Structure formats: structure tokens, C-alpha cells
Amino acid sequence: MQSLNKLIILFDIDYTIFNTALFKQSNLTQYSIYPEVSAILNDLSTQATLGILSQGEKEFQQNKLIQTKIDHLFHKDHIHIALDKKKLIHTISEMYKDKSLIIIDDKLPLLVFAKKYIPNAVTVWVKRGEYAENQKPIPGFTPDATLNNLSKIMRCL
């Protein structure tokens, strides 16, 4: 398995790697990742330990990774899924305090919260999906990077 001394990258699932809009339109039957995701995750997995930071029912969220055949790219010790993602931030702040950490999410308020508790984390806002499209700027906060998709994520490393 990958060295835990490497960079840790935690991905949100919905609207970040998983095409949630298509899933909803298909009555929760069509499991799909965005076009660039598979290649990007494969590239990143050679340079970092990949994990998940997601909100929702654990089995339901994990099933999205399994159905899209990307589950094997995420280290099992770094999969964090809970009904309230903000509560995970406290655990993550302790777990990764001595690591280089990148948090990638489509929800800007979560990135603000994460930066407050993990100031050294690099925050990446993936500006796609219903939340990102309706997000107004948050005074006093700018994510470390803003991307429309993950194709340029390598610039954040």
C-alpha cells in the first residue's frame, strides 16, 4: 500500500468526482463519474494517498465508488463518510496534523470550516454542481485553488 508519509488528498464524492446530477436525473440508477476523474485519480494515486471526505449514508456513498469502479484507488484508512461532514473535520485535523493535506470539495462553506481547523490544509473548490453554481462569495475566504473540473488538479500539488 502507499506510504502514509506522502501527501494526503481527500475528495468529496458528490459533484466533485461523482456526477450527482446525472444520478438524480436517472432516478438513482446511473452511476457515473465525470470524464476526467478516472485518469486524474490514477495519476494522483502514484504521487499521493487518496481518501474520501464525504457527507451522507456511508454504504450509499461507498456504493457510488464501487459502481463506478474507482473504489480501489482510495486507501481504506482514509475514507471518512458521515451524515455531518463538519464533525469529521475535528477528527481529520488530529489525524493529519503532521501530514500535507489537500481537501477537495464543491461546497465552499465546508472548505471555510476545514481551513479554520486545519489552516495548513490546501483547499480546492471544484466549482460545479448545484451547490457551487448557487454559491455566493464568502467574505474573508478564498480557497487555495478553484477549478471547474479536476483536469488541472496537478497544479495544486
Please write the tens of the pLDDT for every residue from 70-84: 999 999 999 999 999
Distance CA 149, CA 15 (A): 10
Give the residue-averaged pLDDT of 152-157. 84
With respect to residue 1, please indicate whether it lies within any of the assigned structural domains: no
The four Cα atoms 21, 41, 110, 84 give a dihedral, to 10 degrees, of 80
Say which CATH number the domain at 79 has: 3.40.50.1000
What gap in Å lies between CA 32 and CA 92, rounded to an integer? 28
Mean pLDDT of the chain: 93
Query: At which residue does the C-alpha cell 471547474 appear?
Result: 148
3-class DSSP assignment, residue 78: helix
Tell whether 105 is covered by a domain: yes
Q: Which residues form the domain of 42?
A: 7-156
Quote the pLDDT of residue 4.
43
- pTM for this model (two decimals): 0.94
Does 2 fall in a domain? Answer: no
How many domains does one find in the chain?
1
Contact present, 143 and 105 (Cβ < 8 Å): no
